[in-house]
Chains A and B, each alone.
Chain A
Amino acid sequence: MKIILKNGYVYDPINNINGEVMDIFIKDGKIVNEFREKDAKVIDCKGKVVMPGAIDIHSHIAGGKVNTGRILRPEDHRRFVIARKFKNGKFFRSGAGFSVPSTRITGYLYAKMGYTMAFTPALPPLMARHTHEELSSIPIIDKGALTLMGNNWFVMKYLKAGEIEKCAAFAAWLLKAVKGYAIKVVNPGGGEAWGWGKNVTSLEDRVPYFDITPKEIIEGLMKVNEMLKLPHSEHLHTINLGRVGNYETTIKTMKLARGLENRDRHVLQITHAQFHSYGGESWKSFESKAYEVAKAVNKMKNVAIDVGFVTLDPTTTMTADGPMEYYLSSLTHLKWTNKDIELETAPGVTPYNYSPKSAVSSVQWAVGLELALLVEDPWRVMLTTDHPNGGPFIRYPRIIAWLMSRKYREDFMKNMNKAVEKRAIISSLDREYDLYEIAIITRASQARALGLKEKGHLGVGADADVAVYDINPEELNTAEYEKIERAFSNAYLTIKSGEIVVKEGEVVNEFYGKTYYVDVEVEEELMQEVERDLDYYFKRYYSVNLANYPVSLDYLTNPTKIERKIERVKVIK
């Protein structure tokens, strides 16, 4: 199909296009050079905004703990249902779930907002097949999975022994075996300690038995990441998430990236930084330290953050940070699930009700916005809620409107706990994001962070993933924030791989997107050494045979491989 999007205001930061009126040409799923209008579908986008399809780099949409969240929360699903429908000769499935939507409607809901790609950020290798089964059941959007390694026994063992090349070879093997996309680290060392009901609280703490520190794991994997030339950086959920006074740990964590460089992107992503920017001595004196954390980000040019905004909704928290989920549930006394996974990780789930009336919640709301408003370079900011941890992804349009409209923030704060005035500085910040900056934090910076050259822009050769919104930049008045929120909630048009999937906020077509994974080849002798260890450990300590562990490509929709060939793994000191 050939499509021409005519006369829209185009926002394409990767190509430095800031609101120019342009035509976009689409053919065979790609953005192409101008062609003649004959045989093409011409769509008038006059007075509308045209952006690349949006990308969500960190959203818990598929896998064991997401599904545990679904099973755990029937009361959540009753708040939000989508009925089945027939449209254009197609059958569109029904589904349910407010904070943890079922898989089909996850694809529909993203597409409706102009999103065309989302990565699930915490794939436990042993459960990888489950994650992929769910990803393969999400229609429309492109997908991928970040792979948990921060508590992996092989990783800890190799790093402790100073065998970083073996660690790198193991990481390469693991990514390929589980069809993962990047190295994800969650509460490094804390997950293993949780195997004994313990945790780590400082970067210098020693992990029981493995005798390694969180700092060493973070640094080691950051180097491994660069040794393997992976497309994405290390993706780090550092220790002390959600703890009062944790901002110092966060700043110390960022400094671990000193000295490492990558031409194309940052080398460390501090994920859901909002949850790591807290001050105070106790919950009573809980306060925002977004200013300090943002200052550190501004200085550290090789570090980026995704925010993890809090949207003040009742939600379901889920992380691979088992001890954190236990701690949270012991504060709320709400139901709690835990799943320690042999040799690898320890996820947990518990509901959480962010209330605007609560001092802590309202400060958390401010922390997220302050971070986004105080970090100067939008290229190192990504819009996320750590869905569903800070709030469900369907709230992204509201976050966009908050960032674009000071008035919206002020109005919203009126019904909030007064703590937001005293223990946060949000009310003093008058920065408003413009559409170009919004396009960066929802598209361009995320595509760049993922190292995907065909994504996040509208240049010739890019994948034809496009969103058109019913906003006229010439008439934009940020005081009318409902309009902004409404427009971003219901894309006028979403085009995925060159096909129209959403028209005026309604899903009209569906098919399956790509699933990205990484395949790094390292030198054979090194891999053989690692394979010997794999054999030994699997025979003794895993509960499945090595032969039954890898996930075959059958589980991925349109598997898309990012290849790297490393002739000789070079140690980074």
Chain B
Amino acid sequence: MHYTDVVCTFCGTLCDDIEVTVEDNRIIDIRHACRVGASKFFKASDIKHRRTKPIIRENGREIEVSLEEAVEKASEILADAYRPLLYGWSSTTCEAIKYGVFLTDLVGGIMDNTATVCHGPSVLAFQEVGYPSCTLGEVKNRADLIIYWGSNPLHAHPRHLSRYSFYPRGFFRERGMQDRELIVIDVRRTDTAKIANKFIKVEQGKDYELVSALRYVLNGGVLKKDYVAGVSREEIYELVDKMKSCSFGVLFFGMGLTQSSGKHRTIDNAISLVRDLNRFTKFNIMMMRGHYNVTGSNEVLAWETGYPYAVDFSRGYPRYNPGETSAVDVLVRGEVDAALIIASDPVSHFPKEAVKHLLRIPYISIDAFYNATSMFAKVYIPTAVAGIECEGTAYRMDGVPIRVRKIIEPPEGVLSDEEVVRMIYEKTMEKIKERIEEEAAEKVIV
């Protein structure tokens, strides 16, 4: 079987032009995908290296169980919990995330996604000053100035440059890269910097200063210092000039900028720079989002609750206060007594103090691939790989929603995240309803 228009669910670029050849339910050929994307397809179809049976751990023993038993146990953990954390939700479909919100609302827990440890500062800045942006096709058709700041797409988003930004021919950029200028701003000369028309090396942690200098000059200030953030006055003036005089500019930024000192204040400043630039010309800004559906995760949570991440339902309605209601913080402070971790591996990636608490509480791990977090879970449920073994919706980094496709069957008995989360939701609902009826009955006796 030969499939076209397949969507790659590796990164937030969500390339939708992949061609895949399948024989006997195995992927044997992949066209157009980048190397990392292709390896994800092959890894999924190599089921020898996947665990495909749900597991329950009790008294240090690991027991393979049926899906129903695993779901029963999982819902018991959640229904019994006082304030559980439901975390992950970035490498899964919107359909699964939606049931995740229902479930968290039902059990009065906290729902958070991986934005909390990556572009969280960008979201906070978004809420402070806004976000002038566009879709990637706009960049392709119009942009003549492309800036990557603290982002190395050649490694993290390998086809970003060729599909959307620098290389492609666009409607108003018929000659492709010849009609555009590429500038990279980073603390080191990355591979992307090497192919750029211009590389500007900013001193580690000084991004905020550089943004401020650019805004200062843009708004008519006269720079007296020879260097700001390690960048010469001439370079700053030249950059401002280019930004002002392009006809459509775009600033892509990555973790290099969000995690620079100042965090959301740096992003706030960068967005303000782009807003200022719109007085002179057309300019947009965009986060380079990593997980393929972290954008969708923010979207689903926002339409269901009003807030994009770190949503706390423990008072019976959605509340949002990152720093207080975000995953790492509630773990470090030991405020949650159970967890459900889906499509994520916090045991490998969270700070030690947070992991310590997670390992103390009963939690469920749902993941297509058995990871460090699954290794210590009370319940582990393997699921199908979205975009390969099951379909669903994902949002590209620019917010374009794309239906990801199913091209092979998942291993026998393995269901999608959506189905598993829905089953847990329904089971937990049953349990909670019973308890509510019990309470009501008690009241009658009193």
B134 within 8 A of A: yes
**In the complex the two chains form, is A543's CB within 8 Å of B400's CB?**
yes
Q: How far is the CB of B21 from chain A (nearest CB, A)?
A: 17
**In the complex the two chains form, is B5's CB within 8 Å of A545's CB?**
yes
B284 within 8 A of A: yes
Contacts of B278 in A (CB 8 A): 197, 326
**In the complex the two chains form, is B400's CB within 8 Å of A541's CB?**
no
**In the complex the two chains form, is A548's CB within 8 Å of B306's CB?**
no
Contacts of B279 in A (CB 8 A): 330
Interface window among A27-35, A52-60, A70-78, A404-412? A70-78
Given contacts A541-B137, A547-B5, contact A339 B399 (CB under 8 A): yes
**In the complex the two chains form, is A338's CB within 8 Å of B133's CB?**
yes
**In the complex the two chains form, is B317's CB within 8 Å of A126's CB?**
no
Contacts of B304 in A (CB 8 A): 93, 95, 102-104, 137
Q: Cα distance A96–B305 when bound, in Å? A: 6
Contacts of B308 in A (CB 8 A): 71
**In the complex the two chains form, is A102's CB within 8 Å of B305's CB?**
yes
Using a Cβ cutoff of 8 Å, how many contacts connect chains A and B? 193
**In the complex the two chains form, is B433's CB within 8 Å of A86's CB?**
yes
Given contacts A89-B433, A127-B401, A540-B169, contact A74 B306 (CB under 8 A): yes
A129 within 8 A of B: yes
Quick one: CB contact mask for B335-351 with A, threshold 8 Å, 1 for yes? 00000000000000000
**In the complex the two chains form, is A542's CB within 8 Å of B399's CB?**
no
A544 within 8 A of B: yes
SS class, residues of chain B in contact with chain A: mixed
Interface window among A159-167, A340-348, A371-379, A391-399? A340-348
**In the complex the two chains form, is A341's CB within 8 Å of B127's CB?**
no
B299 within 8 A of A: yes
Chain B residues bordering chain A, tally (CB within 8 A): 67
Which one of B130, B315, B393 has the greatest number of beta carbons of chain A within 10 Å?
B130
Contacts of A330 in B (CB 8 A): 279
Quick one: CB contact mask for B127-138 with A, threshold 8 Å, 1 for yes? 111111111111
Q: Cα distance A127–B429 when bound, in Å? A: 33
B395 touches which of A103, A130, A196, A343 (Cβ 8 Å): A130
B105 within 8 A of A: yes
Q: Cα distance A95–B135 when bound, in Å? A: 29
Residue of B with least CB distance to A198: B282
Q: Cα distance A338–B98 when bound, in Å? A: 26
Given contacts A71-B302, A102-B318, A103-B304, contact A93 B102 (CB under 8 A): yes
**In the complex the two chains form, is B136's CB within 8 Å of A70's CB?**
no
A202 within 8 A of B: no
**In the complex the two chains form, is A342's CB within 8 Å of B433's CB?**
no
A42 within 8 A of B: no
Q: Cα distance A339–B400 when bound, in Å? A: 11
**In the complex the two chains form, is A71's CB within 8 Å of B127's CB?**
yes
Docked complex: A44-87 residues within 8 A CB-CB of B: 62, 64, 66-68, 70-74, 76-77, 81-84, 86
Given contacts A86-B433, A340-B284, contact A102 B4 (CB under 8 A): no
Quick one: CB contact mask for B392-433 with A, threshold 8 Å, 1 for yes? 010100011111000000000000000000000000010001
Residue of B with least CB distance to A89: B433
Residue of B with least CB distance to A96: B306
**In the complex the two chains form, is B130's CB within 8 Å of A544's CB?**
no
Given contacts A197-B278, A336-B132, A540-B169, contact A81 B318 (CB under 8 A): yes
Residue of A with least CB distance to B399: A64
B313 within 8 A of A: yes
A-B contacts, 7 of them at CB < 8 A, read A71-B302, A83-B315, A100-B306, A127-B401, A335-B129, A341-B134, A540-B171
